[in-house]
Amino acid sequence: MIPAKFTCILVDDEPPSTRILRRYLHDFPQIEVIEVCHHAQEALQKIQDLQPDLLLLDVQMPGLDGLSLLKALYRPPLCILITAFPEYALQGFELEVLDYLLKPVAPERFAKALDRALLRLQARTEKPAAGVLALRVDRKNLRLPFSQIHYLQALGNYVKIISTQGTFVPRLSFNEVEMLLPTDQFIRIHRSYLVNSQSIQHFTSEHIVVNKTELPLARSYRKAVLRKLV
């Protein structure tokens, strides 16, 4: 299946910053930059005319700033704010931006934000395959059937997915992946573990064994988990 292509407008008044972001975007062939704007007023007209899927937006620019630009749009595209000023983060999230990146933007942090953006954009346009988790891992698109997932483990800001196909660490958080899985099949047994009930081999009041791996059953989850399993 050919991956969907999404359009992007990049808005930043600093040419060195736009060059860096465009270089980072080379790792995301699904994203096509259709316009680079150095002033928000110019960007306002381009966004209205071209209707991009994604907006990479600086905050502080001469004249109209990035937040005012977002407020002026009737139906703003999915937006990632990229700025040197952390004090604007709260206002950005009040405007429902997807992410807030601080300059200088590290490649790994940018990649995580773009993976989240692609996940959101694909969810809008694709008819979801029943029983399949679609992820981007190591610059590849992965389609992992729910039935092949044994469990998820929180790994700092990321998540480790243990499956029959192998172990994967997408640039997504534990909670973000959890929201993509059916609650009737996947059970939270600990703040750091989510298990596929179909993969459980045996259990006690303190542990659950999945794929020959003993996982802790936290006291705070015990009643709800045992009610589902017994």
Percent of the chain with pLDDT over 70: 95
Give the CATH number, domain containing residue 37: 3.40.50.2300
Same domain, 50 and 114: yes
Domain endpoint, select from 74, 102, 125 = 125
Task: Write the pLDDT tens digit of every residue in 75-97.
Answer: 889 999 999 888 888 888 888 89
Residue 99 has pLDDT above 90, yes or no: yes
With respect to residue 183, please indicate whether it lies within any of the assigned structural domains: yes
In terms of domains, do 117 and 209 share one? no
- For 187-197, what is each residue's pLDDT tens digit? 999 999 999 99
Q: What is the mean pLDDT of residues 164-175?
A: 91
Q: What integer best gives the mean pLDDT of the chain?
A: 89
Distance CA 42, CA 52 (A): 14
Distance separating alpha carbons of residues 3 and 87, to the nearest angstrom = 37
Nearest to 151 by CA among 161, 140, 138, 139: 161
> Hey, which residues does 100 pair with through a beta bridge?
81
Q: The whole model's pTM is what?
A: 0.65
Number of domains in the chain: 2
Q: Which amino acid is at 188?
A: R
Does 104 sit behind a cis peptide bond, omega within 30 degrees of 0 on the bond before it?
Answer: yes
* H or E stretch at 55: strand 54-57
Q: What is the pLDDT of residues 24-72, one digit of tens each?
A: 999 999 999 999 999 999 999 999 889 899 999 999 888 889 999 999 9
Residue with more model confidence, 164 or 2: 164
Domain stops at, among 95, 125, 155 = 125
The tokens of 48 are what?
């209205």
Rg (CA), the chain: 21
Residue 2 is predicted with a pLDDT of: 43
Pair 54, 35 in one domain? yes
Structure tokens at 181: 């899985």
- 68 and 137 inside one domain: no
| Torsion of Cα atoms, 115 then 116 then 119 then 121, to 10° | -110
Is residue 218 located within the same domain as residue 111? Answer: no
* Residue 128 pLDDT exceeds 80: no
Q: Write the pLDDT tens digit of every residue in 110-127.
A: 999 999 999 888 766 655
Q: What is the CATH number for 168?
A: 2.40.50.1020
Question: Domain range for residue 71?
Answer: 6-125
Question: Which of these three, 58, 90, 125, is where a domain ends?
Answer: 125
Q: Does 140 lie in the same domain as 112?
A: no
Same domain, 89 and 150: no
Residues 15 and 117 in one domain: yes
Looking at residue 129, its pLDDT comes to 61
Query: For residue 192, what are its two tokens?
Result: 């750091």
Residue with tokens 């990229």: 82
Helix (H) or strand (E) run with residue 132 in it: strand 132-137
Query: Hey, is 128 helix, strand or coil?
Result: coil
Query: What pLDDT digit, counting tens, does each position of 132-163 carry?
Result: 998 888 878 888 999 999 999 999 888 999 99
User: Do both 115 and 188 map to the same domain?
Assistant: no
Please say if the pLDDT value at position 74 is more than 80.
no
CB of 215 closer than 8 Å to CB of 195: yes
pLDDT at 1: 41
Task: Evaluate whether 187 touches 195 at the Cβ level (below 8 Å).
Answer: yes
> Looking at the domain assignment, is residue 1 inside a domain?
no
pLDDT at 3: 54
Pair (225, 141) in one structural domain: yes
